[in-house]
Amino acid sequence: MKSLIVTNNFNGKKLSSFVFYSFPNLAKNTFYKALRQKDIRINGKRINTDCTIYVDDKLSVYIADNLLFPSINLEIIYEDDNILIVNKPNNIEVVGENSLTNLINKKFSSNNIMPCHRLDRNTTGLVLFAKNKEALDILFNKFKNHEIKKFYRALVYGIPKVKNARLEAFLFKDTKNSIVYISDTFKKGYQKIITSYKVLEEFPNNTSLLDVEIETGKTHQIRAHLAHIGYPIVGDGKYGINSVNKKLGYKYQQLCSYKLQFCFSSNSGILSYLNNKIIELKY
C-alpha cells in the first residue's frame, strides 16, 4: 500500500490526474481496475469513481509495486569512471522518490551517482550524472560558469519569421503553482534568461523544428520563453495550446536535450579529458 497526500497543485482536480502524476508509469487499465475493485481509499473511504480530490486529502493506493513502478530500460549513452550520461524518457522526474536518479542507483547498486542538472518530467534526452563527489563539484562549477553547453530540439507551433535569434528576457518562478512567467523588462523577483534558437525545418502543418541553446538554465525556461514569443512547444500542456496539441495528437511536449558540449576554459581537475568532447543523440 502507498500513501499520498494531495498537494495544492491538484486541489479540485480528478483523482486520476494525481495518481498518474504520482505513478507516471502506471497503466490506465490497472488504475481503473483498482477503482472498480475499490482498491483506492480517500480519507479512509473506499471509492469506485474518478472523483474530485482536494488539498490535504489522504490517499491509500492498494496496487502492487510492480504495477505502480514497472521497469524502465535505461539507455546509457556514455559512461566512464567519473560520469554517466543517460537518455531520459518522458514521464519521469530526474530526482525524487520514483526518479531516474533512483533507477540509476539501483542499477549500479550505489547511492552516490547524482545528477548535475535536471530536465522537466516530460522533456526527453541527455542527463549528465557524476559518479563521485569530486566530479560532481567540478561539473556543478562548469554549468555555473557556462563551460558546458546544452542544446535542444523543439517542435513548435508556428514558423518564426526570424530564423536565427538570441533572446533575452526575465523569468519569475511561481513555486506554489508550479509555473513561470516571462517579462521582456526587468521586474522585482524576476531573473534574466537567455535563449537562442535556429529554425532547422518548416512543416506544412504550421509547425517548425528548432535547434535551441540556453545560456541560463531556469525552470521551464525554453517552454515558457518560446511560448512568450508566440511559438509554443507542441504537446506542452502548461504553456502550449491545448486545441493544437489535441489536433496534432501530442500528449507530451516535443522537447529533447540532444547534445552536450564540454567547453572547459578553467581548471577541470580529474575531468580534463572531457574538454572539447561532444555527446550527441541521433535525432
H or E element, residue 6: none
Q: Which three cell numbers stand for residue 122?
A: 516530460
- Per the listing, cell 580529474 goes with 270
Provide CATH 3.10.290.10 ranges for the chain: 2-68
Q: Where along the chain do the CATH 3.30.2350.10 domains lie? A: 75-147, 151-258
The CA distance from 281 to 283, in Å, is: 6
pLDDT above 90: residue 197: yes
Q: Which helix (H) or strand (E) holds 245?
A: helix 242-248
Show which residues are catalytic: 120
- For 2-50, the pLDDT digits (tens) are 999 999 989 999 999 999 888 877 888 899 999 999 999 999 999 999 9
Mean pLDDT of 211-232: 96
Q: What is the pLDDT of residues 51-60, one digit of tens each?
A: 999 999 999 9
- CATH of 2-68, picked from 3.40.190.10, 3.40.640.10, 3.10.290.10, 2.130.10.10, is 3.10.290.10
C-alpha cell at 13: 482536480
Mean pLDDT across the stretch 59-81? 89
Distance of alpha carbon 216 from alpha carbon 252, whole angstroms: 23
Return the CATH architecture of domain 75-147: 2-Layer Sandwich (3.30)
Was domain 151-258 assigned CATH 3.30.2350.10?
yes
Task: Please name the residue that has the C-alpha cell 546509457.
Answer: 76
Reported as a single tens digit per residue, the pLDDT across 137-159 is: 999 999 999 999 999 999 999 99
pTM of the model: 0.80
Percent of the chain past pLDDT 90, that is, above it, reads: 83
Residue ranges of E strands in 118-163: 124-130, 148-157
